[in-house]
């Protein structure tokens, strides 16, 4: 079990170092590559045929990372539009089975639109925060949100998704460490932008395909957005306000996940 824990950090760190020496935009793929490494170590290479959302997630993250990488360091309206379209397509692909089997047409469309908006908004907000804060702040927010999401998914009886959320935390932690020790401002920001949508997508999968409480999933998915409370006009990002707001909502999500844990059954052992 040591390899799935260390591999995402090592792969993401290597991608960031390569991006610093070659092209900074490649850092957009660092988080997705770390996640793919953990998925391969835990579950094997992801397949396209199965309906399981856990098998589709690596491809969605690679697509988001590729769009962020193609957009480069400077944001543009075309890059933002492409990011939203890929987020919407990824949300549609991941929720396809749930919408077909369990949800009515209107709630399904609301879920799809809301998930796409949260994924897109999280990426955009972390991009704004990275311009006003220290280089390590944006990946730290992703790491903390993933750290709260992982045990919540495990409490919702989704051990594989919980381990993959932990892999995202490890990859983001590597970006934090490298940002503290070197000049990786642009690379860390791009990695955080590309990794942020994974939080809402993983939380939604835990609620739709496992037993994660829907309100807990909503709190954990929205917790990165509350970091926006640290933004001030013509000032730097307030670390205390932003981190506190995000941490409080994440802790609320953890508490709701604990309260909504299903009762143990003989099939769990």
Residue 208 vs residue 71, higher pLDDT: 208
Cβ–Cβ under 8 Å, residues 203 and 212: yes
* Residue 141 in tokens: 């927010």
Residue 148 is predicted with a pLDDT of 94
Please give the helix or strand (H or E) that residue 184 lies within, else none: none
Cβ–Cβ under 8 Å, residues 212 and 152: yes
Look at residue 261 and tell me whether its pLDDT is greater than 80.
Answer: yes
Instruction: Select, from the ranges 13-22, 83-92, 109-118, the one with the highest average predicted confidence (pLDDT).
Output: 83-92
Residue 191 vs residue 105, higher pLDDT: 191
Tell me how crowded residue 220 is: count the other CB atoms within 10 A of its CB.
Answer: 34
How much is the pTM?
A: 0.91
DSSP per-residue string spanning 70-104:
HH-SS--HHHHHHHHHHHHHHHHHHTHHHHHHTS-
The radius of gyration of the chain from alpha carbons, rounded to an integer in Å, stands at 17
Cβ–Cβ under 8 Å, residues 145 and 246: yes
DSSP state of 133: S
Residue 60 is predicted with a pLDDT of 94
For range 189-217, the mean pLDDT: 92
Residue 109 is predicted with a pLDDT of 74
Q: What percent of the chain has pLDDT over 70?
A: 90
Best CA proximity match to 63, nearest among 40, 92, 29: 29
Look at residue 100 and tell me whether its pLDDT is greater than 80.
Answer: no
Q: How far is residue 223's CA from residue 196's CA, in Å, rounded to a whole number? A: 11
Q: How far is residue 182's CA from residue 35's CA, in Å, rounded to a whole number? A: 23
Q: How far is residue 54's CA from residue 209's CA, in Å, rounded to a whole number? A: 9
Look at residue 77 and tell me whether its pLDDT is greater than 80.
Answer: no
Look at residue 187 and tell me whether its pLDDT is greater than 90.
Answer: no
* Residue 17 in tokens: 């170092």
Look at residue 151 and tell me whether its pLDDT is greater than 70.
Answer: yes
């Amino acid at each position: 079990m040591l390899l799935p824990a260390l591999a995402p950090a090592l792969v993401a760190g290597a991608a960031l170092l390569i991006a610093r020496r070659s092209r900074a935009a490649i850092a957009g793929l660092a988080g997705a590559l770390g996640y793919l490494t953990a998925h391969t170590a835990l579950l094997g290479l992801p397949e396209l045929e199965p309906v399981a959302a856990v098998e589709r997630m690596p491809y969605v993250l690679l697509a988001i990372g590729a769009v962020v990488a193609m957009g480069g360091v400077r944001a543009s309206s075309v890059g933002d539009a492409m990011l939203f379209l890929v987020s919407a397509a990824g949300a549609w692909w991941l929720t396809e089975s749930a919408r077909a089997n369990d949800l009515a047409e209107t709630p399904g469309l609301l879920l799809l639109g809301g998930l796409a908006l949260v994924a897109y908004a999280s990426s955009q907000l972390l991009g704004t925060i990275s311009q006003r804060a220290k280089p390590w702040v944006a990946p730290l927010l992703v790491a903390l949100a993933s750290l709260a999401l992982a045990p919540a998914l495990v409490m919702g009886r989704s051990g594989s998704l919980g381990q993959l959320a932990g892999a995202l935390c490890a990859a983001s932690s590597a970006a934090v460490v490298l940002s503290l020790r070197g000049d990786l401002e642009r690379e860390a920001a791009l990695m955080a932008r590309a990794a942020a949508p994974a939080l809402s997508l993983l939380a939604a999968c835990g609620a739709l395909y496992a037993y994660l409480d829907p309100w807990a999933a909503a709190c954990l998915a929205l917790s990165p957005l509350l970091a926006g409370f640290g933004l001030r006009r013509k000032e730097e990002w307030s670390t205390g306000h932003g981190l506190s707001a995000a941490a409080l909502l994440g802790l609320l999500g953890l508490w709701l996940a604990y309260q909504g844990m299903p009762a143990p059954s003989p099939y769990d052992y």
